[in-house]
A and B are shown apart, each in its own frame.
Chain A
Protein backbone atom coordinates (compact mmCIF):
# COMPACT_ATOMS: atom_id res chain seq x y z
CA UNK A 1 0.00 0.00 0.00
CA UNK A 2 1.33 3.41 -0.99
CA UNK A 3 0.99 6.57 1.04
CA UNK A 4 0.33 8.66 -2.05
CA UNK A 5 -0.41 7.48 -5.54
CA UNK A 6 -0.98 9.95 -8.36
CA UNK A 7 -1.25 9.03 -12.00
CA UNK A 8 -1.38 11.24 -15.06
CA UNK A 9 -2.11 14.29 -12.94
CA UNK A 10 -2.93 17.25 -15.13
CA UNK A 11 -4.32 20.65 -14.37
CA UNK A 12 -5.05 23.58 -16.63
CA UNK A 13 -6.28 27.09 -15.83
CA UNK A 14 -7.83 28.30 -19.04
CA UNK A 15 -5.03 28.12 -21.58
CA UNK A 16 -2.33 27.80 -18.97
CA UNK A 17 -1.14 24.30 -18.23
CA UNK A 18 -0.01 24.31 -14.59
CA UNK A 19 0.52 20.60 -14.18
CA UNK A 20 1.16 18.55 -17.26
CA UNK A 21 1.03 14.84 -16.47
CA UNK A 22 2.62 13.99 -13.16
CA UNK A 23 3.01 10.43 -11.94
CA UNK A 24 4.06 10.17 -8.34
CA UNK A 25 4.02 7.17 -6.04
CA UNK A 26 5.20 7.83 -2.50
CA UNK A 27 5.80 5.04 -0.02
CA UNK A 28 5.08 5.41 3.70
CA UNK A 29 8.05 6.91 5.49
CA UNK A 30 9.48 8.64 2.44
CA UNK A 31 10.45 12.30 2.66
CA UNK A 32 10.01 13.71 -0.80
CA UNK A 33 11.24 17.13 -1.87
CA UNK A 34 9.49 18.66 -4.85
CA UNK A 35 12.15 20.88 -6.30
CA UNK A 36 11.33 23.42 -8.95
CA UNK A 37 11.44 27.11 -9.82
CA UNK A 38 8.52 29.40 -9.02
CA UNK A 39 5.55 28.65 -11.21
CA UNK A 40 6.65 25.07 -11.86
CA UNK A 41 3.31 23.67 -10.66
CA UNK A 42 4.37 22.59 -7.18
CA UNK A 43 1.55 24.32 -5.30
CA UNK A 44 -1.08 23.12 -7.75
CA UNK A 45 0.23 19.57 -7.41
CA UNK A 46 0.06 19.75 -3.62
CA UNK A 47 -3.46 21.19 -3.78
CA UNK A 48 -4.55 18.28 -5.95
CA UNK A 49 -2.93 15.77 -3.61
CA UNK A 50 -4.85 17.47 -0.80
CA UNK A 51 -8.16 17.30 -2.65
CA UNK A 52 -8.47 21.08 -2.59
CA UNK A 53 -8.38 21.24 -6.35
CA UNK A 54 -9.92 18.87 -8.83
CA UNK A 55 -7.44 17.56 -11.42
CA UNK A 56 -8.33 18.25 -15.05
CA UNK A 57 -7.24 14.67 -15.65
CA UNK A 58 -5.63 11.89 -13.67
CA UNK A 59 -6.22 10.17 -10.34
CA UNK A 60 -5.06 10.70 -6.78
CA UNK A 61 -5.20 8.17 -3.96
CA UNK A 62 -3.96 9.06 -0.50
CA UNK A 63 -3.67 6.43 2.24
CA UNK A 64 -5.80 4.18 0.10
CA UNK A 65 -8.70 6.61 -0.22
CA UNK A 66 -9.95 9.73 -1.91
CA UNK A 67 -8.08 12.82 -0.71
CA UNK A 68 -11.42 14.57 -0.10
CA UNK A 69 -12.58 11.76 2.18
CA UNK A 70 -12.94 12.93 5.77
CA UNK A 71 -11.20 9.82 7.13
CA UNK A 72 -8.24 10.55 4.87
CA UNK A 73 -8.18 14.25 5.77
CA UNK A 74 -8.09 13.29 9.44
CA UNK A 75 -4.69 11.73 8.83
CA UNK A 76 -3.24 14.38 6.57
CA UNK A 77 -1.63 17.64 7.66
CA UNK A 78 -0.82 20.60 5.46
CA UNK A 79 1.17 23.77 5.74
CA UNK A 80 -0.01 26.04 2.96
CA UNK A 81 0.98 29.47 1.74
CA UNK A 82 -1.10 32.57 2.38
CA UNK A 83 -3.57 31.29 4.93
CA UNK A 84 -4.25 33.80 7.64
CA UNK A 85 -5.80 32.52 10.83
CA UNK A 86 -8.31 34.81 12.59
CA UNK A 87 -6.26 37.72 13.94
CA UNK A 88 -8.02 38.07 17.27
CA UNK A 89 -7.30 34.52 18.43
CA UNK A 90 -4.01 33.61 20.08
CA UNK A 91 -1.60 31.14 18.52
CA UNK A 92 -2.50 28.54 21.14
CA UNK A 93 -6.23 29.01 20.55
CA UNK A 94 -5.88 28.54 16.80
CA UNK A 95 -3.81 25.37 17.22
CA UNK A 96 -6.25 24.09 19.80
CA UNK A 97 -9.19 24.72 17.48
CA UNK A 98 -7.66 22.92 14.51
CA UNK A 99 -6.59 20.13 16.88
CA UNK A 100 -10.22 19.69 17.90
CA UNK A 101 -11.14 19.06 14.26
CA UNK A 102 -9.00 15.93 14.22
CA UNK A 103 -10.16 12.66 15.76
CA UNK A 104 -6.65 11.96 17.02
CA UNK A 105 -4.39 14.85 17.91
CA UNK A 106 -1.33 15.81 19.89
CA UNK A 107 -1.53 18.29 22.78
CA UNK A 108 -1.52 21.95 21.75
CA UNK A 109 1.57 22.62 23.85
CA UNK A 110 3.50 19.93 22.00
CA UNK A 111 2.47 21.21 18.56
CA UNK A 112 3.56 24.71 19.58
CA UNK A 113 6.81 23.37 20.93
CA UNK A 114 7.53 21.54 17.69
CA UNK A 115 7.01 24.81 15.85
CA UNK A 116 9.10 26.82 18.33
CA UNK A 117 6.15 28.96 19.24
CA UNK A 118 5.90 28.17 22.94
CA UNK A 119 6.98 31.64 23.98
CA UNK A 120 4.50 33.26 21.62
CA UNK A 121 1.63 30.90 22.48
CA UNK A 122 -0.49 33.64 24.02
CA UNK A 123 0.17 36.31 21.44
CA UNK A 124 -2.67 37.09 19.10
CA UNK A 125 -2.22 36.05 15.50
CA UNK A 126 -2.39 39.71 14.45
CA UNK A 127 0.67 40.42 16.61
CA UNK A 128 2.80 37.62 15.16
CA UNK A 129 5.56 38.33 12.66
CA UNK A 130 5.53 36.77 9.21
CA UNK A 131 7.95 34.07 10.29
CA UNK A 132 5.95 33.34 13.43
CA UNK A 133 2.78 33.02 11.38
CA UNK A 134 4.55 30.56 9.16
CA UNK A 135 5.55 28.54 12.20
CA UNK A 136 1.97 28.71 13.38
CA UNK A 137 0.98 27.22 10.06
CA UNK A 138 3.46 24.42 10.75
CA UNK A 139 1.97 23.83 14.21
CA UNK A 140 -1.50 23.63 12.62
CA UNK A 141 -0.21 21.06 10.14
CA UNK A 142 1.26 18.94 12.95
CA UNK A 143 -1.49 19.08 15.54
CA UNK A 144 -3.59 16.31 13.97
CA UNK A 145 -0.70 13.86 14.32
CA UNK A 146 -0.80 13.27 10.55
CA UNK A 147 0.54 10.24 8.70
CA UNK A 148 1.08 12.34 5.62
CA UNK A 149 2.39 15.87 5.91
CA UNK A 150 2.49 18.38 3.05
CA UNK A 151 4.60 21.50 3.33
CA UNK A 152 4.27 24.07 0.57
CA UNK A 153 7.39 26.27 0.51
CA UNK A 154 7.64 25.97 4.30
CA UNK A 155 10.64 28.25 4.77
CA UNK A 156 9.58 31.11 2.50
CA UNK A 157 9.21 33.77 5.24
CA UNK A 158 11.71 32.34 7.72
CA UNK A 159 15.12 33.68 8.63
CA UNK A 160 18.15 31.40 8.50
CA UNK A 161 17.99 30.28 12.14
CA UNK A 162 14.27 29.52 11.90
CA UNK A 163 14.86 27.54 8.71
CA UNK A 164 17.42 25.34 10.40
CA UNK A 165 15.02 24.77 13.30
CA UNK A 166 12.12 23.96 11.01
CA UNK A 167 14.06 21.35 9.05
CA UNK A 168 15.16 19.80 12.31
CA UNK A 169 11.53 19.46 13.34
CA UNK A 170 10.57 18.05 9.96
CA UNK A 171 13.34 15.45 10.24
CA UNK A 172 12.29 14.55 13.78
CA UNK A 173 8.72 14.16 12.57
CA UNK A 174 9.78 12.03 9.59
CA UNK A 175 11.83 9.86 11.94
CA UNK A 176 8.55 8.75 13.52
CA UNK A 177 7.88 6.92 10.26
CA UNK A 178 5.67 9.58 8.68
CA UNK A 179 5.43 10.50 5.04
CA UNK A 180 6.42 14.05 4.17
CA UNK A 181 6.10 15.86 0.86
CA UNK A 182 7.49 19.37 0.67
CA UNK A 183 8.07 21.85 -2.09
CA UNK A 184 11.03 24.18 -2.40
CA UNK A 185 12.87 26.14 -5.02
CA UNK A 186 16.06 26.01 -3.04
CA UNK A 187 18.50 23.21 -3.80
CA UNK A 188 20.12 23.64 -0.38
CA UNK A 189 16.86 22.61 1.31
CA UNK A 190 17.00 19.17 -0.22
CA UNK A 191 20.22 18.15 1.43
CA UNK A 192 19.94 16.28 4.72
CA UNK A 193 16.14 16.24 4.82
CA UNK A 194 14.73 14.57 1.72
CA UNK A 195 15.15 10.88 1.02
CA UNK A 196 14.00 11.48 -2.51
CA UNK A 197 13.86 14.45 -4.82
CA UNK A 198 11.39 15.06 -7.59
CA UNK A 199 12.42 17.85 -9.91
CA UNK A 200 9.49 19.66 -11.45
CA UNK A 201 9.50 22.27 -14.14
CA UNK A 202 6.58 23.58 -16.16
CA UNK A 203 4.26 20.99 -14.73
CA UNK A 204 6.40 17.98 -15.55
CA UNK A 205 8.76 15.76 -13.65
CA UNK A 206 12.27 16.20 -15.02
CA UNK A 207 14.10 13.97 -12.61
CA UNK A 208 13.18 11.70 -9.74
CA UNK A 209 15.74 10.03 -7.53
CA UNK A 210 18.04 10.11 -4.54
CA UNK A 211 19.18 13.59 -3.48
CA UNK A 212 22.84 12.90 -4.43
CA UNK A 213 21.88 11.90 -7.95
CA UNK A 214 19.55 14.79 -8.52
CA UNK A 215 22.00 17.20 -6.97
CA UNK A 216 24.67 16.01 -9.34
CA UNK A 217 22.25 16.49 -12.17
CA UNK A 218 21.19 20.02 -11.37
CA UNK A 219 24.21 21.30 -9.53
CA UNK A 220 26.61 23.45 -11.43
CA UNK A 221 28.45 26.72 -11.68
CA UNK A 222 28.47 29.77 -13.86
CA UNK A 223 31.81 31.21 -14.94
CA UNK A 224 31.76 34.73 -16.28
CA UNK A 225 34.97 36.03 -17.79
CA UNK A 226 36.51 38.17 -20.47
CA UNK A 227 38.67 36.16 -22.86
CA UNK A 228 40.04 35.91 -26.37
CA UNK A 229 39.86 32.11 -26.45
CA UNK A 230 38.27 30.73 -29.61
CA UNK A 231 34.73 29.38 -29.57
CA UNK A 232 36.17 25.96 -30.38
CA UNK A 233 38.51 26.09 -27.40
CA UNK A 234 35.68 27.12 -25.10
CA UNK A 235 33.46 24.41 -26.50
CA UNK A 236 36.04 21.79 -25.66
CA UNK A 237 36.27 22.67 -21.95
CA UNK A 238 35.56 19.74 -19.62
CA UNK A 239 32.18 19.59 -17.88
CA UNK A 240 30.71 22.29 -20.13
CA UNK A 241 26.95 22.49 -20.40
CA UNK A 242 26.52 25.60 -22.46
CA UNK A 243 28.27 28.78 -23.53
CA UNK A 244 26.96 32.27 -24.01
CA UNK A 245 29.35 33.78 -26.47
CA UNK A 246 28.65 37.07 -28.30
CA UNK A 247 31.61 36.36 -30.63
CA UNK A 248 34.57 38.59 -31.42
CA UNK A 249 38.18 38.82 -30.27
CA UNK A 250 38.28 39.88 -26.61
CA UNK A 251 34.74 39.60 -25.28
CA UNK A 252 32.76 38.69 -22.22
CA UNK A 253 31.45 35.13 -22.21
CA UNK A 254 29.48 33.05 -19.74
CA UNK A 255 30.15 29.35 -19.28
CA UNK A 256 27.73 26.97 -17.62
CA UNK A 257 29.61 24.01 -16.23
CA UNK A 258 28.96 21.08 -13.94
CA UNK A 259 32.16 21.69 -11.98
CA UNK A 260 34.17 24.90 -12.37
CA UNK A 261 37.57 23.48 -11.33
CA UNK A 262 38.52 21.30 -14.36
CA UNK A 263 37.19 23.87 -16.81
CA UNK A 264 39.18 26.70 -15.24
CA UNK A 265 42.31 24.57 -14.97
CA UNK A 266 42.18 23.83 -18.70
CA UNK A 267 41.39 27.42 -19.61
CA UNK A 268 44.15 28.94 -17.49
CA UNK A 269 46.69 26.38 -18.71
CA UNK A 270 46.10 27.56 -22.28
CA UNK A 271 47.68 30.86 -23.33
CA UNK A 272 44.31 32.56 -23.82
CA UNK A 273 43.77 35.94 -22.20
CA UNK A 274 41.53 35.68 -19.12
CA UNK A 275 40.29 38.61 -17.03
CA UNK A 276 37.26 39.77 -15.00
CA UNK A 277 36.77 36.21 -13.83
CA UNK A 278 33.75 35.49 -11.68
CA UNK A 279 32.55 32.06 -10.56
CA UNK A 280 29.11 31.68 -9.04
CA UNK A 281 27.19 28.63 -7.93
CA UNK A 282 24.46 28.00 -10.47
CA UNK A 283 20.97 28.89 -9.37
CA UNK A 284 18.27 26.33 -9.77
CA UNK A 285 17.00 28.25 -12.77
CA UNK A 286 20.39 27.86 -14.44
CA UNK A 287 20.30 24.18 -13.67
CA UNK A 288 16.87 23.88 -15.24
CA UNK A 289 18.09 25.77 -18.23
CA UNK A 290 20.92 23.30 -18.51
CA UNK A 291 18.56 20.35 -18.07
CA UNK A 292 15.92 21.46 -20.49
CA UNK A 293 17.84 23.94 -22.63
CA UNK A 294 14.52 25.11 -23.91
CA UNK A 295 12.50 28.08 -24.94
CA UNK A 296 11.51 29.61 -21.62
CA UNK A 297 15.17 29.96 -20.77
CA UNK A 298 15.60 32.59 -23.49
CA UNK A 299 14.80 35.46 -21.20
CA UNK A 300 17.14 33.97 -18.70
CA UNK A 301 19.95 33.79 -21.23
CA UNK A 302 19.65 37.44 -22.12
CA UNK A 303 19.60 38.32 -18.46
CA UNK A 304 22.70 36.29 -17.70
CA UNK A 305 24.49 37.83 -20.65
CA UNK A 306 23.62 41.29 -19.40
CA UNK A 307 24.80 40.39 -15.95
CA UNK A 308 28.05 39.17 -17.44
CA UNK A 309 28.58 42.38 -19.36
CA UNK A 310 28.05 44.57 -16.32
Chain B
Protein backbone atom coordinates (compact mmCIF):
# COMPACT_ATOMS: atom_id res chain seq x y z
CA UNK B 1 0.00 0.00 0.00
CA UNK B 2 1.45 3.30 -1.02
CA UNK B 3 0.29 6.08 1.20
CA UNK B 4 0.21 9.80 1.02
CA UNK B 5 2.61 11.58 3.26
CA UNK B 6 1.05 12.79 6.44
CA UNK B 7 1.11 16.58 6.71
CA UNK B 8 1.60 17.18 10.40
CA UNK B 9 0.53 20.29 12.21
CA UNK B 10 3.51 21.89 13.95
CA UNK B 11 1.77 21.32 17.28
CA UNK B 12 1.02 17.64 16.61
CA UNK B 13 2.61 14.95 18.70
CA UNK B 14 2.47 11.19 19.02
CA UNK B 15 0.58 9.97 22.06
CA UNK B 16 1.78 7.05 24.18
CA UNK B 17 0.67 3.76 22.65
CA UNK B 18 -0.81 1.28 23.05
CA UNK B 19 -1.32 1.60 26.81
CA UNK B 20 -2.07 5.31 26.58
CA UNK B 21 -5.29 4.55 24.71
CA UNK B 22 -6.53 2.12 27.32
CA UNK B 23 -5.48 4.43 30.16
CA UNK B 24 -7.38 7.31 28.58
CA UNK B 25 -10.44 5.14 28.09
CA UNK B 26 -10.43 3.89 31.69
CA UNK B 27 -9.89 7.39 33.02
CA UNK B 28 -12.80 8.74 30.99
CA UNK B 29 -15.09 5.90 32.05
CA UNK B 30 -14.27 6.27 35.75
CA UNK B 31 -14.72 10.05 35.59
CA UNK B 32 -17.96 9.67 33.79
CA UNK B 33 -19.51 7.22 36.23
CA UNK B 34 -18.17 9.06 39.27
CA UNK B 35 -20.43 11.91 38.23
CA UNK B 36 -23.52 9.76 37.96
CA UNK B 37 -25.03 9.59 41.46
CA UNK B 38 -27.56 6.99 40.35
CA UNK B 39 -24.67 4.70 39.46
CA UNK B 40 -22.48 5.41 42.47
CA UNK B 41 -25.34 5.10 44.94
CA UNK B 42 -27.41 2.42 43.24
CA UNK B 43 -24.63 0.11 42.17
CA UNK B 44 -21.50 0.90 44.17
CA UNK B 45 -22.74 2.06 47.57
CA UNK B 46 -25.99 0.08 47.90
CA UNK B 47 -24.27 -3.23 48.78
CA UNK B 48 -22.31 -1.40 51.49
CA UNK B 49 -25.51 0.09 52.91
CA UNK B 50 -27.29 -3.26 52.83
CA UNK B 51 -24.35 -4.84 54.57
CA UNK B 52 -24.46 -2.18 57.28
CA UNK B 53 -28.17 -2.83 57.79
CA UNK B 54 -28.34 -6.61 57.58
CA UNK B 55 -24.78 -7.86 57.98
CA UNK B 56 -23.34 -5.84 60.81
CA UNK B 57 -26.01 -6.72 63.42
CA UNK B 58 -24.49 -10.21 63.43
CA UNK B 59 -21.18 -8.93 64.72
CA UNK B 60 -19.36 -10.60 67.60
CA UNK B 61 -20.37 -14.16 66.64
CA UNK B 62 -17.46 -16.42 65.88
CA UNK B 63 -17.68 -19.91 64.41
CA UNK B 64 -15.68 -22.85 65.87
CA UNK B 65 -13.11 -22.76 63.08
CA UNK B 66 -12.21 -19.21 64.04
CA UNK B 67 -14.12 -17.41 61.30
CA UNK B 68 -16.40 -14.58 62.33
CA UNK B 69 -19.96 -14.58 60.95
CA UNK B 70 -19.39 -11.00 59.82
CA UNK B 71 -16.49 -12.10 57.62
CA UNK B 72 -18.75 -14.60 55.83
CA UNK B 73 -21.50 -12.01 55.53
CA UNK B 74 -18.91 -9.70 53.98
CA UNK B 75 -18.44 -12.37 51.32
CA UNK B 76 -22.20 -12.71 50.73
CA UNK B 77 -22.78 -8.99 50.31
CA UNK B 78 -19.65 -8.51 48.23
CA UNK B 79 -20.77 -11.34 45.89
CA UNK B 80 -24.11 -9.65 45.47
CA UNK B 81 -22.37 -6.32 44.84
CA UNK B 82 -20.09 -7.84 42.21
CA UNK B 83 -22.87 -9.56 40.28
CA UNK B 84 -25.08 -6.48 40.41
CA UNK B 85 -22.26 -4.25 39.20
CA UNK B 86 -21.28 -6.55 36.34
CA UNK B 87 -24.87 -6.83 35.17
CA UNK B 88 -25.83 -3.20 35.54
CA UNK B 89 -22.64 -1.62 34.19
CA UNK B 90 -22.38 -3.93 31.25
CA UNK B 91 -26.03 -4.74 30.77
CA UNK B 92 -28.22 -1.73 31.36
CA UNK B 93 -25.67 1.02 30.65
CA UNK B 94 -24.09 -0.56 27.61
CA UNK B 95 -27.52 -1.15 26.12
CA UNK B 96 -28.24 2.54 26.56
CA UNK B 97 -24.97 3.56 24.93
CA UNK B 98 -25.74 1.28 22.03
CA UNK B 99 -28.88 3.37 21.55
CA UNK B 100 -27.01 6.64 21.38
CA UNK B 101 -24.95 7.79 18.45
CA UNK B 102 -21.71 7.93 20.42
CA UNK B 103 -20.80 4.26 20.11
CA UNK B 104 -21.42 4.47 16.40
CA UNK B 105 -19.46 7.70 16.20
CA UNK B 106 -16.47 5.97 17.79
CA UNK B 107 -16.41 3.48 14.93
CA UNK B 108 -15.19 6.29 12.70
CA UNK B 109 -12.12 6.69 14.94
CA UNK B 110 -9.06 4.44 14.88
CA UNK B 111 -9.92 3.07 18.33
CA UNK B 112 -10.16 -0.72 18.40
CA UNK B 113 -13.40 -1.82 20.05
CA UNK B 114 -11.36 -4.01 22.41
CA UNK B 115 -10.21 -0.78 24.05
CA UNK B 116 -13.79 0.24 24.60
CA UNK B 117 -14.71 -3.03 26.25
CA UNK B 118 -11.40 -3.18 28.11
CA UNK B 119 -12.08 0.28 29.48
CA UNK B 120 -15.53 -0.74 30.68
CA UNK B 121 -14.15 -3.85 32.35
CA UNK B 122 -11.44 -1.85 34.09
CA UNK B 123 -14.08 0.62 35.20
CA UNK B 124 -16.07 -2.22 36.65
CA UNK B 125 -12.98 -3.58 38.44
CA UNK B 126 -12.25 -0.17 39.94
CA UNK B 127 -15.78 0.25 41.26
CA UNK B 128 -15.88 -3.39 42.43
CA UNK B 129 -12.80 -2.68 44.53
CA UNK B 130 -14.51 0.37 45.98
CA UNK B 131 -17.53 -1.73 47.00
CA UNK B 132 -15.36 -4.53 48.38
CA UNK B 133 -13.18 -2.11 50.32
CA UNK B 134 -16.23 -0.35 51.71
CA UNK B 135 -17.80 -3.54 53.01
CA UNK B 136 -14.49 -4.93 54.28
CA UNK B 137 -13.70 -1.74 56.19
CA UNK B 138 -17.13 -1.71 57.80
CA UNK B 139 -16.82 -5.39 58.68
CA UNK B 140 -13.40 -4.90 60.20
CA UNK B 141 -13.91 -1.58 62.00
CA UNK B 142 -17.55 -1.78 63.04
CA UNK B 143 -18.05 -5.54 63.02
CA UNK B 144 -14.74 -6.75 64.36
CA UNK B 145 -14.47 -9.29 61.55
CA UNK B 146 -10.90 -10.30 62.43
CA UNK B 147 -9.97 -11.05 58.79
CA UNK B 148 -7.06 -13.34 58.12
CA UNK B 149 -5.02 -11.27 55.63
CA UNK B 150 -4.23 -14.29 53.45
CA UNK B 151 -7.87 -15.42 53.30
CA UNK B 152 -9.08 -11.88 52.69
CA UNK B 153 -6.61 -11.48 49.79
CA UNK B 154 -7.74 -14.77 48.20
CA UNK B 155 -11.37 -13.77 48.61
CA UNK B 156 -10.81 -10.41 46.95
CA UNK B 157 -9.08 -12.27 44.12
CA UNK B 158 -12.13 -14.52 43.69
CA UNK B 159 -14.46 -11.51 43.79
CA UNK B 160 -12.51 -9.72 41.05
CA UNK B 161 -12.52 -12.92 38.99
CA UNK B 162 -16.29 -12.70 39.35
CA UNK B 163 -16.28 -9.19 37.91
CA UNK B 164 -14.28 -10.38 34.91
CA UNK B 165 -16.43 -13.47 34.31
CA UNK B 166 -19.87 -11.97 34.93
CA UNK B 167 -19.38 -8.72 33.01
CA UNK B 168 -19.76 -10.58 29.68
CA UNK B 169 -23.15 -11.82 30.91
CA UNK B 170 -24.22 -8.19 31.14
CA UNK B 171 -22.83 -7.27 27.74
CA UNK B 172 -24.45 -10.32 26.15
CA UNK B 173 -27.81 -9.08 27.47
CA UNK B 174 -27.01 -5.56 26.24
CA UNK B 175 -26.34 -6.84 22.74
CA UNK B 176 -29.21 -9.28 22.40
CA UNK B 177 -32.04 -7.56 24.24
CA UNK B 178 -33.95 -4.64 22.85
CA UNK B 179 -32.29 -1.59 24.42
CA UNK B 180 -35.41 -0.60 26.36
CA UNK B 181 -35.87 -4.11 27.67
CA UNK B 182 -32.29 -4.52 28.87
CA UNK B 183 -32.78 -3.00 32.34
CA UNK B 184 -35.84 -5.16 32.99
CA UNK B 185 -34.06 -8.27 31.82
CA UNK B 186 -31.03 -7.47 33.95
CA UNK B 187 -33.30 -7.22 37.00
CA UNK B 188 -35.11 -10.41 36.06
CA UNK B 189 -31.79 -12.22 35.80
CA UNK B 190 -30.06 -10.56 38.70
CA UNK B 191 -32.59 -11.05 41.50
CA UNK B 192 -33.16 -14.81 41.13
CA UNK B 193 -29.44 -15.35 40.67
CA UNK B 194 -28.70 -13.53 43.92
CA UNK B 195 -31.41 -15.26 45.94
CA UNK B 196 -30.80 -18.75 44.54
CA UNK B 197 -27.07 -18.47 45.11
CA UNK B 198 -27.54 -17.65 48.79
CA UNK B 199 -26.22 -14.10 48.73
CA UNK B 200 -29.11 -12.70 50.77
CA UNK B 201 -29.89 -15.63 53.09
CA UNK B 202 -28.59 -19.19 53.37
CA UNK B 203 -29.68 -21.59 50.67
CA UNK B 204 -30.80 -24.10 53.31
CA UNK B 205 -33.75 -21.80 54.02
CA UNK B 206 -35.05 -22.14 50.46
CA UNK B 207 -37.59 -24.78 49.30
CA UNK B 208 -36.00 -28.02 48.10
CA UNK B 209 -36.93 -27.42 44.47
CA UNK B 210 -35.08 -24.15 44.42
CA UNK B 211 -32.13 -25.66 46.25
CA UNK B 212 -31.99 -28.24 43.48
CA UNK B 213 -31.79 -25.54 40.83
CA UNK B 214 -29.00 -23.62 42.54
CA UNK B 215 -26.02 -25.79 41.45
CA UNK B 216 -26.95 -25.07 37.83
CA UNK B 217 -26.37 -21.36 38.28
CA UNK B 218 -22.94 -19.82 37.62
CA UNK B 219 -23.37 -17.42 40.55
CA UNK B 220 -23.92 -20.35 42.93
CA UNK B 221 -20.43 -21.58 42.06
CA UNK B 222 -19.12 -18.07 42.46
CA UNK B 223 -20.53 -17.91 45.99
CA UNK B 224 -19.16 -21.32 46.84
CA UNK B 225 -15.72 -20.31 45.64
CA UNK B 226 -15.79 -17.00 47.53
CA UNK B 227 -16.98 -18.44 50.85
CA UNK B 228 -14.49 -21.26 50.44
CA UNK B 229 -11.72 -18.73 50.10
CA UNK B 230 -12.77 -16.98 53.31
CA UNK B 231 -13.36 -19.89 55.68
CA UNK B 232 -12.80 -23.61 56.21
CA UNK B 233 -15.62 -25.94 55.08
CA UNK B 234 -16.92 -26.63 58.60
CA UNK B 235 -17.45 -22.98 59.35
CA UNK B 236 -19.22 -22.44 56.05
CA UNK B 237 -21.74 -25.21 56.65
CA UNK B 238 -22.42 -23.88 60.14
CA UNK B 239 -23.01 -20.51 58.48
CA UNK B 240 -25.76 -22.20 56.49
CA UNK B 241 -24.12 -22.82 53.14
CA UNK B 242 -24.17 -26.39 51.94
CA UNK B 243 -20.86 -26.91 50.23
CA UNK B 244 -20.70 -29.05 47.15
CA UNK B 245 -18.31 -29.61 44.29
CA UNK B 246 -14.58 -29.06 44.18
CA UNK B 247 -12.82 -25.73 43.89
CA UNK B 248 -11.85 -26.58 40.34
CA UNK B 249 -15.39 -27.31 39.33
CA UNK B 250 -16.39 -23.86 40.59
CA UNK B 251 -13.55 -22.17 38.73
CA UNK B 252 -14.34 -24.05 35.51
CA UNK B 253 -18.05 -23.17 35.69
CA UNK B 254 -17.37 -19.47 36.34
CA UNK B 255 -14.68 -19.08 33.68
CA UNK B 256 -16.66 -21.21 31.21
CA UNK B 257 -19.70 -19.01 31.75
CA UNK B 258 -17.57 -15.93 31.17
CA UNK B 259 -16.17 -17.35 27.94
CA UNK B 260 -19.60 -18.40 26.66
CA UNK B 261 -21.03 -14.96 27.35
CA UNK B 262 -18.03 -13.32 25.69
CA UNK B 263 -18.70 -15.33 22.55
CA UNK B 264 -22.37 -14.31 22.68
CA UNK B 265 -21.36 -10.67 23.06
CA UNK B 266 -18.97 -10.89 20.14
CA UNK B 267 -21.72 -12.38 17.98
CA UNK B 268 -24.12 -9.64 19.06
CA UNK B 269 -21.53 -7.00 18.33
CA UNK B 270 -20.96 -8.39 14.84
CA UNK B 271 -24.68 -8.47 14.23
CA UNK B 272 -24.90 -4.83 15.30
CA UNK B 273 -22.02 -3.84 13.06
CA UNK B 274 -23.50 -5.63 10.05
CA UNK B 275 -26.83 -3.97 10.67
CA UNK B 276 -25.27 -0.55 10.96
CA UNK B 277 -23.30 -0.88 7.79
CA UNK B 278 -26.16 -2.52 6.02
Contact: A73 with B110, CB < 8 Å? yes
Chain A, residue nearest B17 (CB): A103
Q: Is A3 located at the chain interface by the 8 A CB criterion? A: yes
Q: Is B21 located at the chain interface by the 8 A CB criterion? A: yes
Q: Is B102 located at the chain interface by the 8 A CB criterion? A: yes
Contact: A104 with B108, CB < 8 Å? no
Query: In the complex, which of the residues B9, B11, B20, B277 has the most CB atoms of chain A within 10 Å of its own CB atom?
Result: B9
B275 CB to nearest chain A CB (Å): 11
Q: How many angstroms between the C-alpha atoms of A107 and B23 in the bound complex?
A: 17
A91 CB to nearest chain B CB (Å): 13
Instruction: Type the 1/0 row for B1-32, where 1 means its CB is closer than 8 Å to any CB of A.
Output: 11110111101111101001101110010011
Q: Is B107 located at the chain interface by the 8 A CB criterion? A: yes
Query: In the complex, which of the residues B2, B12, B109 has the most CB atoms of chain A within 10 Å of its own CB atom?
Result: B109
| Interface locus among A93-101, A220-228, A232-240, A300-308 | A93-101
**What total of chain A residues lie within 8 Å of the partner, measured CB to CB?**
48
A39 CB to nearest chain B CB (Å): 19
Instruction: Type the 1/0 row for B244-278, where 1 means its CB is closer than 8 Å to any CB of A.
Output: 00000000000000000000000000000000111
A10 CB to nearest chain B CB (Å): 14
Contact: A104 with B12, CB < 8 Å? yes
Contact: B6 with A106, CB < 8 Å? no
A104-B14, A110-B11, A144-B109 known; A96-B104 Cβ under 8 A: no
Residues of chain B with a CB closer than 8 A to A83's CB: 101-102, 104-105
Contact: B3 with A100, CB < 8 Å? no
B46 CB to nearest chain A CB (Å): 19
Chain A, residue nearest B111 (CB): A101
Contact: A104 with B13, CB < 8 Å? yes
Chain B, residue nearest A110 (CB): B11
Q: Is A52 located at the chain interface by the 8 A CB criterion? A: yes
Name the one of B4, B8, B102, B105 contacting A104, with C-beta atoms under 8 angstroms.
Answer: B8
Contact: B28 with A97, CB < 8 Å? yes
Contact: A96 with B15, CB < 8 Å? no
B interface residue count range (under 10 / 10 to 19 / 20 to 34 / 35 or more): 35 or more
Residues of chain A with a CB closer than 8 A to B101's CB: 80, 82-84
A100-B25, A101-B111, A105-B12 known; A65-B1 Cβ under 8 A: yes
Q: How many angstroms between the C-alpha atoms of A96 and B23 in the bound complex?
A: 12
A269 CB to nearest chain B CB (Å): 57
Name the one of A64, A94, A145 contacting B3, with C-beta atoms under 8 angstroms.
Answer: A64
Contact: A84 with B102, CB < 8 Å? yes
Instruction: Type the 1/0 row for A231-253, where 1 means its CB is closer than 8 Å to any CB of B.
Output: 00000000000000000000000
Chain A, residue nearest B33 (CB): A88
A68 CB to nearest chain B CB (Å): 9
User: What are 26 A-B contacts defined by CB distance under 8 Å?
Assistant: A28-B4, A52-B104, A53-B276, A53-B277, A54-B277, A71-B110, A74-B110, A80-B101, A83-B105, A84-B100, A86-B102, A88-B32, A88-B36, A96-B24, A97-B28, A101-B106, A101-B109, A101-B111, A102-B15, A102-B110, A104-B6, A104-B15, A105-B15, A106-B9, A106-B12, A144-B110
Which residues of B are at the interface with A, using a C-beta cutoff of 8 A? 1-4, 6-9, 11-15, 17, 20-21, 23-25, 28, 31-33, 35-36, 100-102, 104-112, 115, 276-278
Which residues of A are at the interface with B, using a C-beta cutoff of 8 A? 1, 3, 28, 50-54, 63-65, 70-71, 73-76, 78, 80, 82-86, 88-89, 93-94, 96-107, 110, 124, 144-145, 147, 176-178
With A86-B28, A103-B14, A104-B12 given, can you name 8 additional A-B contacts, CB distance below 8 Å?
A: A51-B108, A54-B278, A76-B108, A83-B104, A84-B101, A96-B28, A106-B13, A147-B7
